[in-house]
Structure 1
Amino acid sequence: MKVLVLTGPESSGKSWLAAEIQARFGGVVVGEYVRHFIDLHQRDTCYADIDDIARGQLAWEDAARAARPALLILDTHLLSNLLWSRCLFADCPGWLETELLARHYDLHLLLDPAGVPWIEDGQRCQPLLAERQAFHRACHDWLQDSGQRYVALSGDWADRRDAAMTQVATLLGSANQHAGPGQ
């Protein structure tokens, strides 16, 4: 099983790219639990919610890992929970980073916010490019400092898709470069 993580600021194409990758290579996509949490509770999150949100994300990830798909595509993972907690509340439960570092991820695709428009969806809160770039830098710094394997993706939507497809094909090996869903 190869585990791919899409990471970066909001509105940089993570969910769209996860669907594009799944359509081409198959695999299982794990979505962003915080979106489910907000839809369920119909309110903004607070610091007290961080544990529940992070544990929900882990539960979704663990359920998908247990199925052992050839490709597991994470639309996000605990890094987003960790950074959003710090960004919004200037604090983060200590166990999040420990748990994040204890897990194996084969490749992170780090999406740059520049080059694509911010799209309002009722849950996003960083319409300013400078805010999203700061979040991107925080993602980059954490990936770099913790020795995670990552590739930065930028450009317009087509550039991101093309680069992602190349990276995933390499991750899966050349025999899978032209595989379709379920192959």
Structure 2
Amino acid sequence: MLQARFGGLVVPEYVRHFIDQEGRDTCYADIPTIARGQLAWEDDARARQPRLLILDTHLLSNLLWSRALFGDCPAWIEQALLERDYDLHLLLDPEGVDWVDDGQRCQPQLSERQGFFADSLGWLQRHEQVWQVVGGDWPTRSAAALDAVGQLLATP
């Protein structure tokens, strides 16, 4: 939707590719490989210098999922995340839309997703990142995301 409206490049979520290639769930030992893969995809897209770079996810997801699933995360991942600049984070509120089982997604309970959302928001706030919560039904979310990115691109 964002790319259709504004152009640019989209970087997908590396962990989905990893799981498809490996044919299994992840384990703690996979976290560095997944994080490096995500960074490589992001760096490849950045090197092309698009007007707009849309990341489905970045190292914050790797960091928080590693902690949630395994109770730990390699320290270099947070440091690598903090060394990068992102103009805007669109943080999707888990309320207002149904959870969809896609074979890889977990946390079917809303309370679980709300906890992950709170962890994400807390990290963004603590590290003074630019963020906007996107909530409501899908049409409302789409409109809010389009508006936020449109405003970002209009800023000189």
Output the TM-score relative to the length of structure 1: 0.84
Q: Which amino acid aligns with 1:116?
A: V
| 2:108 counterpart (127, 130, 153) | 127
Q: Distance in 2 between matches of 1:122 and 1:151?
A: 28
Q: Distance in 1 between matches of 2:133 and 2:104?
A: 25
- Deviation string 1:25-72 (CA, Å, 9 cap, x unpaired) is 000000000000000000010000000000000000000000000000
Q: Distance in 1 between matches of 2:67 and 2:104?
A: 18
- The residue that corresponds to 2:88 in the other structure is 107
- The residue that corresponds to 1:118 in the other structure is 99
SS at match of 2:91: strand
SS at match of 1:96: helix
1:75 aligns with 2:56: yes
| 1:86 counterpart (38, 60, 67) | 67
Residue correspondences, number: 156
**Could you list the runs of 5+ residues in structure 2 that have no partner in the other structure?**
none
Q: Distance in 1 between matches of 2:115 and 2:65?
A: 12
Identity of aligned residues (%): 65
- The residue that corresponds to 1:139 in the other structure is 120
Q: Which amino acid aligns with 1:67?
A: R
Output the TM-score relative to the length of structure 2: 0.98
Give the C-alpha shift of residue 174 in structure 1: 7.1
Q: Which amino acid aligns with 2:36?
A: R
- The residue that corresponds to 1:64 in the other structure is 45
Structure 1 vs Structure 2 CA RMSD: 1.0
- The residue that corresponds to 1:44 in the other structure is 25
SS at match of 2:104: coil
Q: Distance in 1 between matches of 2:149 and 2:93?
A: 18
| 1:98 counterpart (59, 75, 79) | 79
1:28 aligns with 2:42: no
Q: Distance in 1 between matches of 2:138 and 2:106?
A: 21
Q: Distance in 1 between matches of 2:2 and 2:155?
A: 15
Q: Which amino acid aligns with 1:108?
A: H
Q: Distance in 1 between matches of 2:85 and 2:15?
A: 22
Q: Which runs of 4+ in 1 moved over 3 A?
A: none
